[in-house]
Structure 1
Amino acid sequence: MKILITGSNGQVGYCLTQRLEEKATILSLDYEGLDITDKKAVQKIVADFNPDYIINAAAHTAVDRAEQEAELSYAINQDGPLHLAQAASECGAVILHISTDYVFDGEGQLPYQEIDSTNPQGVYGHSKLAGEIAVAEYCPKHLILRTAWVFGEHGNNFVKTMLRLAQTHDELTIVGDQFGGPTYAGDIADALIAMVEYIEAGNKPAWGVYHFSGMPYASWYDFAKAIFQVAEDSNVLQKQPAVTAIPTSAYPTPAKRPENSRLNCTKIESQFGIKPSDWKRALNNIQAYK
C-alpha cells in the first residue's frame, strides 16, 4: 500500500505521517517538497511514486488573510486539489481530501448534514468548496472529509493560543455565541486511515462527502473553559484566568465566522464505523501542547 501525503507539516498531515510510517509505504511532502499549485510538479511526483492513495492535507487555512489573498487561497484550495485529483484519476488512486465547515453559512442551530445546501460566506469557504467540486469532478474514487475547529500538539491552534494567553492574562474574553465540534487532529488522521483500511479490506465505500468533527458540541467559550480546567488540573497552569463570554459582534474579524459549525457525523459512522472525535479526551495530554 503506497500513500502520498501532502501538507505534511500541517496539523493533520503531521499526524498522518507519524501514524502511517509503519503501516504503509509513504511519501509525505510539505510545501517545499511539493507545491500542489504546480500542475506539472504534481503530475511528476504522482507518476513517479504511483500511489494507491493520495491524502491531501494541504490547505490555505488563514481565514482572515484569505480575504486579502484570494488568488493564493484559490490556488491552494481549488487548483491544488484539482491537480491532485487529476493525477489520482490517471494512476487509478483513491483521493482523500480534507475540507471544512466554512462551506456552509453557519445559520440555524441544527448540525449540518452532507446533503445540506452549501453557502460559504468568505473567500476561504468559497475556495474550499471549489476544491471539493474539483476533486469530485476529476477523480471518481474520492472521499471528502469536512471537519471543524482542528487542534493538536503540532502547529498553531486554539488550544495553544489559550495556553499562551493564560500565561500573561488574568482575564480573557472569549466568543460565546459560535458553536461547533472541536476536533483533535490525531482523530482526523485516524479517521482517514480507517477509511483507507476499509477499502484495503476489500470494501467499496460510497464515494463522496463525509462529516467528521468532535463531540460534544461547544462554544469557543466552553472550549476555553475546558482547556483551562484541564491545564490547571495537570499543573500546566498554576491558576486559570477569569473568562467572560462575549458575542461575535464584540470581536470583529475580516472574515465572517459561522455561528453554527455543528456537523452531523452519522453518515461516516454508518459507512465506516468511525465515531466522532472525543475532544475532551484529547485534552488529557495537554502537557504536550506547550
Structure 2
Amino acid sequence: MKKILVTGCNGQLGRAIRKEYAASDVEFINTDVVAGNGIVSLDITNIDAVMEMVKDTKPDIIINCAAHTNVDKCEEQQDLAYKINAIGPRNLSIASSEIGAKMIHISTDYVFEGNGTRPYIEFDKPNPISAYGRTKLEGENFVKQFADRFFMLRTAWLYGDGRNFVKTMLSLAETHDELSVVCDQLGSPTSAVELAKMIHFLEKTDNYGIFHATCEGDTNWAEFADEIMKRAGKTTRIKHVTSEEYKKMNPASANRPAYSILENYMLKLTSDYRMADWHDALDVYMKELLG
C-alpha cells in the first residue's frame, strides 16, 4: 500500500487531496499544526520534528500543502513567512531524500513580478515583488537544492473547501449591494479539486520538475466576482476598480502581480493531461457549494 504524508492537511488543497484519493489504496499520514481527529501535529519549521516523523512513518510520497498564504500578513511577519514558506520545504526535502520519498511541493504565481504580456512558462525567470512571493521562491530553491525527486507545482487563485475568494464574495453579498473588486490583476482561478487531480496524475510518474498547475483560461478578480454572483443568483453589483484605487481604500495591502497568468507549458510538453477550464471548474464547485 502506498503511503502519503500530507502537511497542511486541513487546508483547501489538503482536503481536496484526501477526497481525490478516497477510492485509492493509499494510507495517509495527515499532519497539520494542530492535532486531532486523526491528524498528527507537525511543525515543518523544526528539522528534528520533521526528520523524526518521516523516519518513523517512512512515506513513499510527501505532499507539502503547508504555507503562510496571507499575502498582506507576510509583509508584517517576514520571519514567520520565511520559516513556513522556505525553511519548511527545505526540511521536508532533506527528509524526503533521506528515505527516498518523492517530494511534491506547492508554489505560487506570486514568484513572478507580473509585468509580462504573455502567460509565464516554467522557463521564465522569477522575480517576486512581495514578501509572500520572495519566501515562496526561496522555498522553491531549497526544494531544488535538497530533494532528489520532486514535483514543484505553481498554482494560482486557489479555492476549495475552506476560506477563499468565492466564499468571501458570497458572504459579503449578504450585507452589501455593491462590492469594489480589482479589475487590473489578471490570473487563472484554480479549483483545489483540479489541482489535486493533477497531483494524483503526476505522482504516479517519474516526470519530475517544475510544473505550472492552473485551470485553463484567465480573467481578472472583478470578472471572477461577476461570474460568482451570476452563478449564485446574487444581485450585488461588482464595481471594477484599479489596484491603485483599491490601495487607497486599503493602504496596508501588499504589492500583487498585475499579470500572473501561468501557462501549463511543461504539462503540455511532457504529457496529454490537461486541467479543466476555469469556468467549468467553477461550475462544479458552485453546484456543490450551493447544493
Inter-CA distance 162–66: structure 2 relative to 1 (3 Å threshold): same
Residue 40 of structure 1: aligned partner:
48
How many Å separate the matches in 2 of 1:248 and 1:277? 28
| Contact residue 180 and residue 238 of structure 2 kept, 8 A | yes
Alpha-carbon separation, structure 1, partners of 2:190 and 2:94: 29
- Whether 1:150 aligns to 2:158 is yes
The Cα of 1:288 is off from its aligned counterpart by 4.1
Which letter does structure 2 place at the counterpart of 1:42? V
Shift, 1:47, TM fit: 0.4
Is the contact between residue 3 and residue 53 of structure 1 (CA under 8 Å) also seen in structure 2?
A: yes
Distance 2:17 2:83 in 1: 23
Superposed counterparts of 1:104-253, under 5 Å: 104-152=112-160, 154-197=161-204, 199=205, 204-205=206-207, 207-232=208-233, 239-252=234-247, 253=252
Asked if structure 2 preserves the Cα contact closer than 8 Å seen for 1:212 and 1:277, the reply is no
Cα distance 1:272–1:42, how it changes in 2: closer, same or farther (>3 A)? farther
Report the 3-state secondary structure (helix = DSSP H, G, I; strand = E; otherwise coil) of the residue aligned with 1:125: helix
The 8 Å contact of residues 122 and 265 in structure 2, kept in 1 or not, is answered as: no
Structure 2: 5+ residue stretches without partners: 35-40
Query: Distance in 1 between the 2:91 and 2:272 partners?
Result: 30
| Structure 2: distance between partners of 1:262 and 1:11 | 21
Counterpart contact for 1:7–1:58, Cα < 8 Å: yes
1:225·1:243 contact (CA, 8 Å) conserved in 2?
yes
TM-score, with length taken from structure 1? 0.92
Q: CA deviation at 1:195?
A: 0.6
Q: Give a deviation string over 1:40-62, Cα, whole Å, max 9, x none.
A: 11001100111111010000001
- CA offsets per residue over residues 22-45 of structure 1, 9 Å max, x none? 421111111121110111110011
Q: Deviations over 1:141-187 (max 9, x none)?
A: 011000000011x1111100110111111112211110000000111
Q: Is the 8 A contact 2:198 2:275 kept in 1?
A: no
Partner residue in 2 for 1:19: 20
Gaps of 5+ in 1: 233-238
Distance change >3 Å, CA 58–CA 272, structure 1 → 2: farther
Is it true that 1:264 corresponds to 2:272 in the alignment?
Answer: no
CA contact (8 A) 2:183 2:223 kept: yes
Runs of 4+ with deviation above 6 angstroms: none
Cα distance in 1 for residues equivalent to 2:103 and 2:227: 35
User: Structure 1 CA distance, aligned partners of 2:196 and 2:96?
Assistant: 20
Deviation at 1:109, TM superposition (A): 2.2
2:77 is matched with which residue: 69, 81, 84?
Answer: 69
Are positions 1:49 and 2:57 aligned together?
Answer: yes
Structure 2 Cα separation of the partners of residues 94 and 240 of structure 1: 47
Contact 1:230/1:283 (<8 A) preserved:
no
- 1:287 Cα deviation after fit: 5.0
1:3 aligns with 2:4: yes
What CA deviation, in whole Å up to 9, does each residue of 1:65-116 have, x standing for no partner?
0001001000000000000000000000110000001100000221001111
Q: Which residue of 2 aligns with 1:31?
A: 33
Q: Any idea what SS the aligned residue of 1:210 has?
A: strand
Q: Match of 2:181, as an amino acid?
A: I
CA distance in structure 2 between the aligned counterparts of 1:97 and 1:208, rounded to whole angstroms: 10
What is the identity, as a one-letter code, of the residue corresponding to 2:217? Answer: P
